[in-house]
Amino acid sequence: MSLLWDREKSIESLINEIKRYTDSSIYMDLTTGKYTIKPNRKTPPEEIGGLLVLDKHNCKVETISSPSLDELVNEVKVIWTDLDERKEKTVQVQELGLYQAQDKETISVEVNYKAINDGQLALKLATRDLKGLSYPLKIGALEANRVAYSLSPGGKFVLNWEPDGIYNLVCIVTAISYGTPRDNKIVIDFIQDISELGEVFYIDPATGFTPINTGAEIVDNYVLEEIPYWLNKAAGEGPEDYRPMIMAEDPTGTSKGFNLFYKEDPATFVQNNSVGQFCPVGRVLQAYPRTGPVDTSGNLLLIQPPENWLPYEDATDDEIRLSGVNLIYMNKELMAIKSSQILASGLLLVTEVWRGALDTTIKEHPVNSEVWFISSGVTTTKEHWETQPLTLTYRL
């Protein structure tokens, strides 16, 4: 994240931006007199029992409410900045269950996180925001006695309020007025803690350093095909020449590439003069039947994408026809994804796909079929061969 403080903006606006990006609260510590930023993060289960409990014996709830179904949001779009390409990009996530409950009407908000320059982080922020906007969080205000004096903005407590059927609700203090010692009242504005609603589809990485200079691993999962005529021509090679197209899955998830060796029998192996690029691979979660050349059904192609994969951006007809973007490979069929969306569950739902691309045949694809995202990474050799009977052997 990279935030620029424009001198024309106040320091308060900069702090508010930091709070928005990090989902934090800021307050002045009454004991130190210093400002403190407290991020809102999930409370460990073993610490829940130590939170202050407010109930009818020490507080009175003045107001409490939650948004109606029509006020909830089922889609969040986040704008972020790609520094490599020097342009703004958009990622989006959708809560499909809420979309169905709202009569299949897309209720979307667009959030500006232009200080973010990592696509995966932008996707994580979109998921975080959708989590709060798609759930009817309880918001309210209450008066408590001096037992709540230890609370501060961003602090958490447990609310039990029988008149509204609320039990063991973890809440966050959004504002607090400590009153005076004489009135014995502390006024608290609060909101339900979003972090206690369940995990998002990202898993926090394990802490600690893991050396990356480990020994070479065997590349077990790969597919070898001939580069299609059109792609070979687009690369500036003779379209009639033969070159391989190798899709290889990273065996560790952290490898930087692989070495490719090839030989024309019975010669000795020659190492390709560049490091091979791994190709992201996912799995279809339901059987994908034959369809027409353009499938706009929007619910047939559901994919479990690979980890740390940056989703394809939606493409125009011309980008697909002229540039061959957003290509995927499944069981010898090439397709081009025109539009898709990442669901709140982390799954990739393809809403429009062009099938049988580059002279391949439309096929049925059983569940768990591999989906190779070849526009994100595929390997070939610089050497090419004229079309003639020959035998080539490859080793990864």
Q: Output the domain CATH number for residue 142.
A: 2.40.30
Q: According to DSSP H, which parts of 254-369 are helical? A: 317-318
Domain stop point among 195, 224, 239: 195
Domain stop point among 89, 111, 133: 133
Token pair for 297: 């059904």
**Is there a domain that residue 146 lies in?**
yes
Shared domain check, 183 and 83: no
Mean pLDDT, residues 343-353 taken together: 90
Query: Is residue 280 classed as helix, strand or coil in its secondary structure?
Result: coil
Could you tell me which residue, 12 or 38, shows the higher pLDDT? 38
Percent of the chain with pLDDT over 90: 37
Whether 73 has a pLDDT exceeding 60, the answer reads yes
Q: What is the pLDDT of residue 206?
A: 43
Mean pLDDT, residues 26-40 taken together: 85
Shared domain check, 55 and 170: yes
Shared domain check, 366 and 289: yes
**Is there a domain that residue 88 lies in?**
yes
Which of the four pLDDT bands, split at 50, 70 and 90, describes residue 337?
A: very high
* Residue 365 · residue 288 · CB < 8 Å: yes
**Is there a domain that residue 288 lies in?**
yes
Q: According to DSSP H, which parts of the chain are helical? A: 11-22, 45-48, 96-101, 119-133, 229-234, 317-318
Shared domain check, 101 and 79: yes
Could you tell me which residue, 105 or 11, shows the higher pLDDT? 105
Shared domain check, 312 and 177: no
Between strands 59-65 and 186-192, the pairing is unpaired
Shared domain check, 348 and 285: yes
Shared domain check, 302 and 184: no
d(CA 158, CA 171): 6
- Is the peptide bond prior to 266 cis by the omega test (within 30 degrees of 0)? yes
Q: What is the pLDDT of residue 329?
A: 94
* Residue 379 · residue 394 · CB < 8 Å: no
Which of the four pLDDT bands, split at 50, 70 and 90, describes residue 226?
A: confident
Range of the domain at 100: 69-133
**Is there a domain that residue 90 lies in?**
yes
Among 269-273, 314-318, 364-368, the minimum mean pLDDT is found in 269-273
Q: What is the pLDDT of residue 387?
A: 56
**Is there a domain that residue 335 lies in?**
yes
Q: What is the pLDDT of residue 383?
A: 72
Mean pLDDT, residues 202-214 taken together: 49
**Is there a domain that residue 333 lies in?**
yes
Q: What is the pLDDT of residue 390?
A: 64
Backbone phi, psi, residue 54, to 5°: -110, 130
d(CA 227, CA 138): 56
Q: Write down how long the chain is.
A: 396
Whether 158 has a pLDDT exceeding 50, the answer reads yes
The rounded mean pLDDT for the chain is 85
Domain stop point among 146, 172, 195: 195
Which of the four pLDDT bands, split at 50, 70 and 90, describes residue 80?
A: very high
Q: What is the pLDDT of residue 272?
A: 77
Shared domain check, 109 and 142: no
Token pair for 237: 């090679």
Q: Is the pTM of this model over 0.85?
A: no
What is the residue type of 367? V
Could you tell me which residue, 157 or 1, shows the higher pLDDT? 157
Which of the four pLDDT bands, split at 50, 70 and 90, describes residue 355?
A: very high
How far CA 139 is from CA of 66, 152, 169, 192, 259, in Å, comes to 6, 17, 11, 6, 57
Q: What is the pLDDT of residue 64?
A: 94
**Is there a domain that residue 266 lies in?**
no
Among 3-12, 33-42, 46-55, 106-115, the minimum mean pLDDT is found in 3-12
Q: How many domains does the chain have?
A: 3
Shared domain check, 57 and 162: yes
Q: What is the pLDDT of residue 300?
A: 80
Shared domain check, 160 and 292: no
* Residue 305 · residue 340 · CB < 8 Å: no
Shared domain check, 60 and 141: yes
Shared domain check, 58 and 154: yes
**Is there a domain that residue 52 lies in?**
yes
